[in-house]
Amino acid sequence: MPTITYHRVNVFTTRPFGGNPLAVFPDAEGLPTDIMQGLAREMNLSESTFVQRARAIGANVRVRIFTVAEELPMAGHPTLGTHFVLARLGRYELSEPVTRVFQEIGAGILPVDLMVRTCRSRWCRPA
């Protein structure tokens, strides 16, 4: 099996070992669903995310969210943590004070706001 990079982050906290842990796989293009599910089981966290190229018009990225048992159409802390990681990796052209990006998920296309100065993210309900 090839090497795949992931980032483990803690969402909803400002201190180490707090909040909700999340595994983010920022380069998951081409990974089969069964491999993503297996990796999520191996991580053994409440959720793991896998970032792929967007397929929907208007989306910046496609994010697939997995628990140890199944794929979810949408989830809050995985959305926030995933875009925090992508912003830190330089995947977005950021502009202050807020940069809005759009993720394609099982539930559709969801806007996500990145607070540039404070390095935070929040998801928004589609209008």
pLDDT digits (tens, 9 = 90+) for 60-90: 999 999 999 999 999 999 999 999 999 989 9
The pLDDT value recorded for residue 57 is 96
- Which pair of tokens denotes residue 41? 């089981």
H-type helices in the chain, by residue range? Answer: 33-43, 76-88
Measured distance CA(35)–CA(42) in Å, rounded: 10
pTM of the model: 0.91
In this predicted structure, the answer to whether residue 126 has a pLDDT above a threshold of 80 is no
Choosing from 29, 42, 47, 93, the catalytic residue is 47
pLDDT digits (tens, 9 = 90+) for 5-25: 999 999 988 888 889 999 999
Domains of the chain, first to last = 7-123 (3.10.310.10)
Active site residue 42: no
The pLDDT value recorded for residue 120 is 55
In this predicted structure, the answer to whether residue 113 has a pLDDT above a threshold of 80 is yes
- Which pair of tokens denotes residue 83? 């875009």
Helices and strands (DSSP H and E) totals, the chain: 2, 8
